[in-house]
Structure 1
Amino acid sequence: MQRKPYDSLVAERDLYQPRGCPRMNPDSPISLWDLSAEEPDLRNPMTGDAETDVAIVGGGFTGLSTALHCAEQGLDAHVLEAKHIGFGGSGRNVGLVNAGVWHPPAAVRKKLGDTYGPRFIKRFGDGPAQVFDLIEKHQIRCEVTKTGTIHAAHAPSGFKDLQARHAEWARLGEPVDLLSAEEMVEKTGTNVFHGGLLDHRAGTINPMGYCRGLARAAKSAGATITTGVRATNLRRDGQDWIVETDKGTVRAKYVVLGTNAYSDTLWPNLSRVFTMIRYFQLATKPLKADMAHILPGRQGVWDTGQIMFSIRRDAHDRLVIGSMGTVVGSVGRGLSHRWAKKQLARLFPELGPVEFEEAWHGKIAMTPDHLPRIYQLAPNLLTPIGYNGRGITTGTIFGECMAKLIAGMDPAELPLPMTELSTVPTAPIMSRLYQTAFTANQVLKSL
């Protein structure tokens, strides 16, 4: 499908509903990335029953990486996406291609042990390189930068944590620099940070562009991708799985659920293995030429605060600022609009009055220990889940892992062990409590 010009899509978006309101029309853009991605959208309805080696539910990073790597292994793969490619967390992502996970390496080793710990650290430390290699190999148009990302110290206590993290990464020989407060001014254009950690392995992308590029690559490799088809039930039929959908059935030897934070009732209790939180973002109009000192290297930045916020400069010189919670109000007025204006005035007072183009939010699946999971829910039924806000690298890595498992890889070679499904009984309550706290934080920081 040919992608329409950005201005045309904005005009269509405004006809569907007021900015910032829930997207009532399924074709209404879900984020800035949905509007600005250069890669064309892929729409392909399901026209009847089908058979395949691997049925994949979810057309995001995980599902499309699984499909691509399955096809490259000679497996017939069929992706089933309920809406359109990247509709879930993938198309609403911040776009930071970060190495590792929330925990520093020592904590990962302690949690995963001497066998899996070092393997996980290495595999996820190399995660950005795998993403960048796929982008290069398949010439994915996704506004990629490879100038790193910066973990910014919001307070002296945050800088102490970054010093400890730097010492660990340096011991492992990874290209990570500890930045002073003065160096942070040079890198970010603001003096509010107490230091930072620049990870040269990392970078930024337009996440929807990457997602659509994976879809294009998977299709070119031989995978089938259908959109606008919702999986409604899973059942066994002999040695096969039957995926029932609202458009027909798919018979498959294996099924991979790649739905992460957007998991529903398709498999019992799957949506209760994590605490769901939301993350919102607002994008400004492109900056003027005299603001070139703001994030001049286009590194994505996120801070050490308990309620994290992020900021980056996209390829078209928009500032994209976000934090935990939902969009309250709209892109042009309301609480989130006031919060974003206040934060930008604090960071960059020289900006003056700021106008915003887009506002959106998405879901994040947070596990109790902030590590992802790989579950074998039943024979030949797999799901990686609980990405804790690191969807780009985790989804890409785990998609390859799913394909290799199905092709015969020993599960002992995975980056972390497969575990039994374990629910978080307090997840619904905690999700509501977090949302209340995040909204209160927007109010407090808008004063």
Structure 2
Amino acid sequence: MAETSVREEVHWTVTATPAPECRRLDGRVEVDVLVVGGGLTGCRTALGLAEAGASVALVDGERIGWGASGRSGGQANPIWRQTPEELIARLGRNHGERLIRTTLTSAQDLFADIARFGVDCDAVQSGWLQAAHTRRTRDRLRSLGRAWAAVGMDIGELEGDAVREASGSPAYGFALRHAAGGNVQPLSLTRGYARAAIERGALAFENTPISRLERVDGKWHAHAPTGEIVAENVVLATNAYSKGLVPDLHKTYFGLFSIALATAPLSEAQQREILPGKVTISDSRLAIYFARYDRDGRLIFGCVGSSEQVDRLGGFARVKRGLRTVFPQIADIAIERKWAGRIAVTPEMMPHMHEPAPGVLAGLGYSGRGIVMTSVMGPALAARLLGTPPTSCPSRSCRLRRSRSTG
């Protein structure tokens, strides 16, 4: 496996659509809603609010899509790790059934949003293979797939040679095929949502870190080095970068890191054998392996690591070993880039919506399901701020949770 020219560079920054025009905050701005965090959650929330006529300021301390949203594998994985019955047992019937309905349409909603807002993000909806790496996980995946199929999700089972034919990998003997799954260019998706929000009137500021939030006369004042934003409501969409503005919010999740590589483009013959039809795959390991193609036929392969420094603690070495394990027929392929990104994982492996203070909402903790579930969370946060009560949010909302924070 060639390594002499591997760049430590986020691959998506090379192939992404142009960034929307944003500026640094300069002075005082007053809006209905301040959205802190220019990733997928923040951009989709700002888009929903602006489309409804609210005045919105979208702010990021770095650049739009700089964090996990622009560093992920870009897989659209539309299912939880729990069965519908387990969701109801955990969340109660009202929230559980709402989440089940949401999940059944979540991937279709994502790709419909991409079409409706004209987002150019190399979207491919050609299915997702969820592969079992052991006999025990095979039995668990089979039960999971049948439980979701029973409530209406389009899921098929593959065994033996059928798994090899569908994936090109000899490493797995069983897999679920989720027809609605796929993949996107995640940075382009993030930029596309931001651009659509700006076109609908949202203000967008980059390189504008918010250092402090304070409540004055019923409004929130957000302080940045170059100005101030005053808003009736605040959305915190900072995910794994949430330490600082609201006490204890960072204690509701633990941080992990997604480590990935991009190979040289595969030949047409190799692409016909490996992930044919540009299907996406991930497996059942606790620190999963995942793979998909980019638009130019490069294989994007990754796993969960322990540090956002790519080579530390064996992270990149594990990705290379994983590539050899899953696709041994391309073990010697050249690698062009390697990178890492910080992700937030909750104890339940499901995202949270928090209301840590009056007029403040936070959505975070996608636990490896961020591409699809941020498109659920964004509209849910927007709907909540537009007046939908927490007990009757639309089916695309997630369970409302209060953190211990007081704001």
TM range (shorter): over 0.9
Alignment partner of 2:300: what SS? strand
Equivalent AA in structure 2 for residue 297 of structure 1: G
State the Cα distance separating 1:39 from its structure 2 match: 4.2
Matched residue SS, 1:404: helix
Which residue number in structure 1 is paired with residue 88 of structure 2?
A: 109
- 1:97 alignment partner, one of 53, 76, 84: 76
SS at the partner of 1:252? strand
Q: Which residue of 1 aligns with 2:278?
A: 298
Q: Does 1:377 align with 2:356?
A: yes
Post-superposition CA distance 1:36-92 (Å, at most 9, x none): 112434432212210000001000111111110001111001001110010111001
CA distance in 2, matches of 1:275, 1:243: 26
Q: How far 1:419 sits from its partner (Å)?
A: 2.3
> What is the DSSP-based 3-state SS (H/G/I as helix, E as strand, rest coil) of the residue aligned with 1:49?
strand
- Partner amino acid for 2:402? E
Letter in structure 2 aligned against 1:420: R
How many residue pairs align between the two structures?
396
Higher RCO, 1 or 2 (CA under 8 Å, sep at least 6)? 2
Written as runs of structure 1 = structure 2, the 5 A alignment for 1:147-186 is 147-186=126-165
1:216 is aligned to 2:195: yes
Distance 2:308 2:211 in 1: 29
SS of residue matched to 1:208: helix
**SS of 2:164's equivalent?**
helix
- After superposing the two structures, state which structure 1 stretch, 34-43 or 64-73, moved more: 34-43
Task: Quote the Cα distance in structure 2 between the aligned partners of 1:312 and 1:279.
Answer: 14
- Counterpart of 1:420 in structure 2 is 402
2:232 counterpart of 1:244: no
8 Å CA contact 2:303, 2:319 repeated in 1? no
**Equivalent residues of 1:39, 1:142 under 8 A apart:** no
Cα shift at 1:167: 1.2
Corresponding residue SS for 1:150: strand
Amino acid at match of 1:391: G
After TM superposition, give the deviation of residue 314 of structure 1 in Å.
1.7
Query: 5 Å matches for 1:28-47?
Result: 31-47=10-26
The alignment partner of 2:7 has SS state of: coil
Summarize deviations over 1:310-354 as a string: whole Å, max 9, x none: 111222111111111146665xx9944543443333333332522
Query: Are the counterparts in 1 of residues 33 and 233 from structure 2 also a CA contact under 8 Å?
Result: yes
**Is 1:188 aligned with 2:187?**
no
- Alignment partner, residue 340 of structure 2: 361
- Counterpart of 2:209 (choices 222, 226, 230) is 230
Equivalent position SS for 1:108: helix
| Code of the aligned partner of 1:421 | S
Report the Cα distance in structure 1 between the residues aligned to 2:376 and 2:140, rounded to whole angstroms: 27
CA distance in 2, matches of 1:363, 1:338: 18
Partner of 1:437: none
Quote the residue 1:308 is aligned against.
Answer: 288
Aligned residue for 1:160, secondary structure, equals helix
Q: In structure 1, what is the Cα distance between the partners aligned to 2:144 and 2:211? A: 44
Partner Cα separation in structure 2 for residue 337 and residue 62 of structure 1? 28
What letter is aligned with 2:168?
Answer: G
Q: Deviations over 1:361-409 (max 9, x none)?
A: 1122111122221111111111112211211222221111111111111
TM-score normalized by structure 1?
0.84
One-letter code aligned to 2:345: M
Greater fraction strand: 2
| Gapped regions of structure 2 (runs ≥ 5) | none
Please tell me whether residue 261 in structure 1 is matched to residue 249 in structure 2: no
Amino acid at match of 2:360: L
Q: Distance in 1 between matches of 2:314 and 2:255?
A: 22
Task: Report the alpha carbon displacement of residue 288 of structure 1 after superposing the two structures with TM.
Answer: 1.9
Percent identity reads 29
Structure 1's unaligned 5+ residue stretches are 1-13, 21-29, 424-447
Contact map agreement 1:42 1:85 (CA 8 A) in 2: no
State the shift of 1:290 in Å.
Answer: 2.5
Q: Structure 1 residues 336 and 381, CA, compared in 2 at 3 Å: closer, same or farther?
A: closer
Asked if the contact 1:67–1:79 (Cα under 8 Å) also holds between the matched residues in 2, the reply is yes
Q: Residues 283, 327 of structure 1: CA spacing in aligned structure 2 closer, same or farther, 3 A cutoff?
A: farther
Equivalent position amino acid for 1:354 in 2: I
State the SS of the aligned residue for 1:231: coil
CA distance, structure 2, for counterparts of residue 334 and residue 364 of structure 1: 17
1:124 touches 1:393 (CA, 8 Å); kept in 2?
Answer: no
Q: How far apart are the structure 2 equivalents of 1:348 and 1:98?
A: 21
- Match of residue 273 from structure 1: 252
